[in-house]
Amino acid sequence: MSPRLHRLLPLGQLAGPTSGTAADLAAASTAAAGTAGAKAARLAVARAAGFPVLPGWVLPVAESRPAIWAGAAAVRGGRPAASRRAALGCPPDPELARELRAAVCSLGGRVIVRSSSPLERDPRWAGAFTSVAEVGPADAVTAVRSCWAAAFAVDPLARLTSCGLPLDALELGILIQPELCPAAGGTARVTPATGGTAGLTPAAGGIPRVTPAAGGMTQVTPAAGATRPGPVDVVVEGVRGHPGALLAGWAEGTSGFVRLADPSARDWPEPASAGPLTELLGAGLVASVARLAAGVYWALGDASIEWAAHNGTVWLLQTMAAGPAPAPPPEPAPPPVLAVAAGAGAGCQPGLAYPTRELMPLLAAAVQAGGSRLAARPAAAGQAAGRLVACRPHEGPAAGCRDAILLVDRPVPALAPLLFAARGVIARSGAAGAHLAEVARSLAVPMVTGCRPELVTGPVPARDGWLAAIDGSTGEVALLPA
């Protein structure tokens, strides 16, 4: 039996009743995001709709305010390095500490404490906040304080500046859930297949009904009067074991493509095609993940999920709503130009200056025509060209990153602030499911992974010594001496 807690909210009750229309459920999700943060709110909605979401407790956003205000005061006072210490100086009171310990015990005594920020409704904030794993009752208060203080790390503060938001926007809820030791995990992304509709069109009759099916599958039944969706394409990415390393940019992962038709059909889904992912995880698991992702997309409109397979169930770890595309970063005045040196290839004149973005296709064509070609894996769609600038997390690149193609070792979240002004990203390793790739997609910054430019440039590219052109849809990369 769950304990009676007064300041923590049960995840299962956060979304409210689900007997209304899909629009009512969306409104409940928006309201819940202000109370509990976007991560907890979307999972509460998914759980209420019938998807396999772990139980949990939510510490509301309001409980973080004393710590967040203390950290914000330190930043405003010109002491950003002291902001985390200031936040740590506002621990939960004894009553709340008792409730946190009771919540952990009610979930089996071993939990993960996850930050849940209202800002995470915007995919530009993917991977910005902290989670603490392997938390027991005695560690609960420390884990919560760590999440609050981590909001003042370099990465969130830099993203806050790039988004033009006030420091108080860093307040966050906390989601406490049982910790899994999964057999596999990863991400899945859904797009309408050619000729398909954009998803379910809800009718006044209500939201779709989600029920478990055989083999850990998910069955989605349309509401009365709702339009059935067309086929969807699902890119499933996964690793054996916990997906945390993949999301953080430290694991390569393996991906597979699945096309699915109507998820309410009896013969749905079609078998997953053979490939490295099915060899790694098995065709049944890949099909289960694809079905879960397509069902979430159909029922809730969320195009991206994180998942974990444990004891025969594919659990939904996170679901992300597709929000409006953010405005592109403003151009400086006057706009910088890029001087293309002699010998830069067909179509380039010695000393000719190209405006940073207007003539980028011309620069890309020149680099592709005269440069060396390299293979990579697609991560964020689009084409880009510019100077190649090597950079590392928390370091300002020597040559600056505005209007550059960034070269990084791994797609770790701490690099996200650099993407707001960049043209594209080349990562030597990592996966398209990494949080940094989610940020790149939200900013329309093309990105590839698994590229080895040192085969052409040498171990360390010379400063301002190379031009790069990338295609984030195909994984093609071209490098040309500047």
pLDDT (tens digit per residue) in 209-225: 565 555 555 556 555 44
- What's the mean pLDDT in 15-26? 60
Query: Burial level of 284, CB count in 10 A (0-12/13-18/19+)?
Result: middle
- What's the mean pLDDT in 421-425? 94
Name the more confident of 229 and 134.
Answer: 134
Q: CATH classification of 337-481 is 1.10.10.1800, yes or no?
A: no
The pLDDT assigned to 4 comes to: 73
Name the more confident of 431 and 350.
Answer: 431
The architecture that CATH gives domain 9-178 is 2-Layer Sandwich (3.30)
Highest mean pLDDT among 270-279, 333-342, 359-368, 471-480: 471-480
Tokens at 96, concatenated: 């709340």
Neighbours of 155 (CB within 10 A): 20
Q: What is the pLDDT of residues 63-106, one digit of tens each?
A: 999 999 999 999 999 999 999 999 999 999 999 999 999 999 99
Confidence of residue 191 (pLDDT cuts 50, 70, 90): confident
Q: What is the pLDDT of residues 237-296, one digit of tens each?
A: 999 999 999 999 999 999 998 888 765 555 555 555 668 999 999 988 998 999 899 889
Do the Cβ atoms of 440 and 447 come closer than 8 Å?
Answer: yes
Question: How wide is the angle at C-alpha 428 spanned by C-alphas 454 and 460, nearest 5°?
Answer: 35
> What is the pLDDT of the chain when averaged over all its residues?
84
pLDDT at 174 over 80: yes
Do the Cβ atoms of 467 and 453 come closer than 8 Å?
Answer: no
The pLDDT assigned to 232 comes to: 85
Confidence of residue 393 (pLDDT cuts 50, 70, 90): confident
Distance (Å) of CA 427 to CA 147, 170, 310, 405, 407: 28, 29, 31, 10, 6
Q: What is the pLDDT of residues 373-385, one digit of tens each?
A: 999 999 999 999 9
pLDDT at 107 over 90: yes
The pLDDT assigned to 212 comes to: 58
Residue 109 to residue 128: CA distance in whole angstroms: 27
pLDDT at 196 over 90: no
Q: Is the peptide bond before 417 cis (omega within 30 degrees of 0)?
A: no
- What's the mean pLDDT in 185-205? 64
Neighbours of 292 (CB within 10 A): 29
Look-up: residue for tokens 């939200």? 442
Question: How wide is the angle at C-alpha 344 spanned by C-alphas 338 and 346, nearest 5°?
Answer: 115
- What's the mean pLDDT in 43-48? 91
Q: What is the pLDDT of residues 22-33, one digit of tens each?
A: 566 666 677 788
- What's the mean pLDDT in 357-366? 82
> Looking at beta carbons, which pairs linking 3-8 to residues 24 or more positions away fall under 8 Å?
3/102, 3/103, 3/105, 3/106, 5/57, 5/99, 5/102, 5/103, 6/99, 7/59, 7/60, 7/63, 7/95, 7/96, 7/99, 8/57, 8/58, 8/59, 8/99, 8/100, 8/103, 8/176
Enumerate the domain spans of the chain: 9-178, 184-321, 337-481
Question: How wide is the angle at C-alpha 23 spanned by C-alphas 17 and 28, nearest 5°?
Answer: 45
